[in-house]
A and B are shown apart, each in its own frame.
Chain A
Amino acid sequence: DQQVKQNSPSLSVQEGRISILNCDYTNSMFDYFLWYKKYPAEGPTFLISISSIKDKNEDGRFTVFLNKSAKHLSLHIVPSQPGDSAVYFCAAKQGGSEKLVFGKGMKLTVNP
């Protein structure tokens, strides 16, 4: 039962352009969402998060948008850099639970 879905396995963009990574979820009880980035042979690294009481959170080149009615969140990276090439995981937490539920990840390739 996939509660967090990253339906596109990969995305390729040119350096300097915008990267948009999408994530859908099915559990309306989720109240906190996160994005993690993972390089090969390393563990995931926390990138940015958003609470369900907000619809946008920005941190430098990274912005996460949350659309609760659509149960959809997206990560925007502007401008994209080759060092952003990695696998990006979407994760969510249900209110009252301390458990993070992860999607299966999406590979972003930023071409120079």
Chain B
Amino acid sequence: DTAVSQTPKYLVTQMGNDKSIKCEQNLGHDTMYWYKQDSKKFLKIMFSYNNKELIINETVPNRFSPKSPDKAHLNLHINSLELGDSAVYFCASSHSAADYGYTFGSGTRLTVV
């Protein structure tokens, strides 16, 4: 029973398309995150939600829009995909915003062609 599940695991799409990545956690955690691992392997925070409220919004293009319908779900929608958006996107959750022992999903590898 996966604690943090992301779908899809792989996503190949053309430039200009709009796509969504879904994330669900069954841990009862209050806080969820989206991280991006770029080609240089750094993991960088994109967004964080605590109980459906946006608490971290890093400098990412506004083509990226997170949505949290409830505290167990945090989806990431990307408009007008660009080549530079190709990366691995990780969803994570934690008990609270002050708990840094995150539980990560297995990642979504996005390839924009």
Interface residue ranges, A against B (CB under 8 Å):
2, 32, 34, 36, 41-46, 49, 89, 91, 93, 98-100, 102-105
- Interface code B32-51, partner A: CB below 8 Å = 1, 0 otherwise? 00010000111111001000
Given the interface contacts A89-B43, A93-B100, A105-B41, does A43 sit within 8 Å of B55 by beta carbon? no
Q: What is the CA–CA distance of A93 and B107 in the complex, to the nearest angstrom?
A: 22
Which of A41, A46, A98, A102 contacts B43, CB < 8 Å?
A: A102
B102 interface contact, C-beta 8 A: yes
Can you list 13 A-B pairs, Cβ within 8 angstroms, ordered by A? A32-B100, A34-B100, A36-B104, A41-B107, A42-B107, A44-B43, A44-B90, A44-B102, A98-B56, A99-B56, A102-B44, A104-B41, A105-B41
Q: What is the CA–CA distance of A33 and B58 in the complex, to the nearest angstrom?
A: 20
Given the interface contacts A99-B45, A102-B43, A104-B41, does A46 sit within 8 Å of B4 by beta carbon? no
Tell me, rounded to whole Å, the shortest Cβ–Cβ distance linking A92 to chain B.
10
Which of B41, B42, B106 contacts A42, CB < 8 Å?
A: B106
Task: Report B-chain residues with C-beta under 8 Å of the C-beta of A34.
Answer: 100-101
Q: Are A46 and B90 in contact (CB under 8 A)?
A: no
